[in-house]
Amino acid sequence: MTANETNDPGTLRVGDADRKAALDRLGLYFAGGHLDVAEFDERSGKAAIAKVRGDIDALFVDLPPLDDAKAPASRNPYRAETIDEAQGELDRVMKRAEVVQKVDAAVWGATMVIFFVSLFVLHWQYFWLVFPIAGVASGAVRRAFRLTPEEEELYEKLSGAEQRERMQRLEQAADKRRELGY
């Protein structure tokens, strides 16, 4: 590495917090109409795998600044309160979706137990009724937590991306451990 590369902020490594902040920022640009769906997907994918600061900076070079001090606060949709509110709302959606996923797993786990007990132990002829009941219960949980299909899809996308990143880090750590002979 040359002296110029060590002084270049674009070559500094980024972490999960930097990638998450970039994804949040891209979401604000998308919500503001600055990016279409294809651009948002492409840039989000690049943000998720960014290695250095320059990778992240490149995603925003053609976009207006979020903190436009010249715009009056009432007309600037990207003022600090709006960014904080959007982040808070996303956090609340993610927590609700996580609870719904856990309750859903419990509902369907119990459904399978009841199904097998009613079919093989009790020999109940209406054993099949547990599935429509579980479907209604799943829908009721989503309604109770006011989780829309779009919010659930977003949760699955973000948690899937986080899981893939975690698995990549673990695989890299395992590879490193094998290289070092542990």
Domain extents in the chain: 1-78, 90-182
State residue 7's pLDDT score: 65
Distance CA 129, CA 164 (A): 37
Closest by Cα among 26, 74, 76, 30 to 47? 26
State residue 9's pLDDT score: 73
State residue 180's pLDDT score: 83
pTM value surpassing 0.85: no
State residue 66's pLDDT score: 75
pLDDT band at 67 (very low <50, low <70, confident <90, very high): low
State residue 11's pLDDT score: 87
Average pLDDT over residues 40-48: 88
Residue 13 main-chain phi, psi, to 5 deg: -65, 150
State residue 89's pLDDT score: 87
- Mean pLDDT (the chain) is 84
